[in-house]
Amino acid sequence: MTENKIRIGIFFGGRSGEHEVSLMSARSVLSVLSQETYRVIPIGITHNGEWRIHPADLQPVPSGELPGKHTLEALEANHLQDLIAVTILPDPSDPWLYLLEKAGQETFLTPASRIDVAFPVIHGSFGEDGTLQGLFEVAGIPYVGAGVLASSVGMDKALFKDVMEANGVPVLPSLVFSRKEISQNLQRIITEAEALAPYPLFTKPANMGSSVGITKCHNRSDLIEGLIEAARYDRRIMVERGINAREIEVSVLGNESPQASIPGEIIPSDEFYSYRAKYLDNASELIIPAPIPFEISEQARQLAIKAYTAVDCAGMARVDFLIDKNTNALYLNEINTIPGFTKISMYPKLWEASGLPYPALIDRLIQLAVERQEENEKSERVFRRSA
């Protein structure tokens, strides 16, 4: 019976340069959700941040049809006129999705579906950075993935590096500048960046994923272009020392007792694992397990769990490392609290290679969301003064 199914709100799209990547991840997740166990409620978020759903996706899904496909395809084709507005309320006693219906100058809320668990598949700003997680917390809805703290710290590359250094995790040296500094005092920024390390340098938006806005800079001209490009996507820009590196990734799963997968290696088709190499040219190679010495593999797995627990992560994360080809030194690059879930994404592939198939991984993530909510609800919300 449909009434006995767990109602999963899948949130995808979003106000981010990673909007299109989110749609690819959502299609992949929707394709493996068991229709016998789950009732899928797709919530598509436009580039402008509007929450939308296709009316057909509020009905039971015919056998063999992709759950949520109407909402997903409307966002992919930018046919927003086919979608209707929805919202949730910041009220823990009312975990429902509502239709927003207008009549003249008035707007009415009409209950559309209960949401038992939210599954955000939104990469980047307003989805992976703790903002959406904060809404779920206030609304009392269990959700897949990291909480507000881990999401926000993990999203900000500069702040995350500070936390890693405080916990003794090796990271590459970097500097952070504001967009305003770059526009008003570019020469000073160039001087400080070139004093950090010899070229190549990397310029990155502090808050962005999928390699959006990242430039490998071989000279001063590249640096200027890279700073301007990164500033398009964030008001805080990182300049980081570049090394001749191998790119290693580890998937982490769990709440209080996280586990790390075997590491995998990325052989990018570009000179680094750029957006084009990840999603466009289909020429990058994923090697699982990574052909690295056992001691480096174990060090990466241990550091991945250390980083995960240091930011109080939950549910899932992919932790990315760089190995210096000249010295074999291992550096933690970043943590992704909503990793890619496309058909080529490393996070599910690493768990499959570690013995956990993709559908079972999705089930486990939903279970972890419920377990964390149950643990959070043990906290008392009223202070009772002792006599």
Provide mean pLDDT across the span 119-125. Answer: 93
Residue 353 lies in a domain: yes
Same domain membership, residue 236 and residue 289: no
Same domain membership, residue 112 and residue 180: no
Residue 312 lies in a domain: yes
Same domain membership, residue 134 and residue 71: yes
Same domain membership, residue 365 and residue 349: yes
Q: For residue 49, which phi and psi values (nearest 5 degrees)?
A: 90, 10
Per DSSP, 228 falls in state H
Strand-strand pairing, 6-13 and 117-120: parallel
- For 183, the 3-state DSSP assignment is helix
Q: Answer for the pair 146, 317: CB distance below 8 angstroms, yes or no.
A: yes
CATH code of 367's domain = 3.30.470.20
Q: Where are the beta strands (DSSP E) in the chain?
A: 6-13, 38-45, 51-53, 84-88, 96-103, 106-114, 117-120, 174-178, 201-205, 215-217, 236-241, 245-254, 259-260, 264-267, 285-287, 315-324, 330-336
Query: What pLDDT score does 279 carry?
Result: 58
Provide mean pLDDT across the span 292-307. Answer: 98
Boundary-marking domain end, from 187, 210, 241: 241
Residue 17 lies in a domain: yes
Q: Give the domain extent around 101.
A: 2-143
C-alpha span between 366 and 143 (Å, rounded): 8
Residue 148 lies in a domain: no
Same domain membership, residue 111 and residue 9: yes
Same domain membership, residue 161 and residue 40: no
C-alpha span between 176 and 180 (Å, rounded): 12
Same domain membership, residue 323 and residue 250: yes
C-alpha span between 318 and 85 (Å, rounded): 33
User: Residue 346's CB: how many other CB atoms inside 10 A?
Assistant: 27
- At 195-229, the pLDDT tens digits run 999 999 999 999 876 577 899 999 999 999 999 99
Provide mean pLDDT across the span 89-106. Answer: 92
Same domain membership, residue 135 and residue 63: yes
Instruction: Flag whether the pTM goes above 0.75.
Output: yes
DSSP string, 112-160: EEE-SEEEE---STTTTSSHHHHHHHHHT--BSS--HHHHHHHH-HHHH
Among positive and negative, which fits the CA dihedral 52, 56, 59, 63? negative
- At 71-94, the pLDDT tens digits run 999 999 999 999 999 999 999 999
C-alpha span between 213 and 231 (Å, rounded): 8
Residue 201 lies in a domain: yes
Placement of tokens 């500033």 in the chain: 231
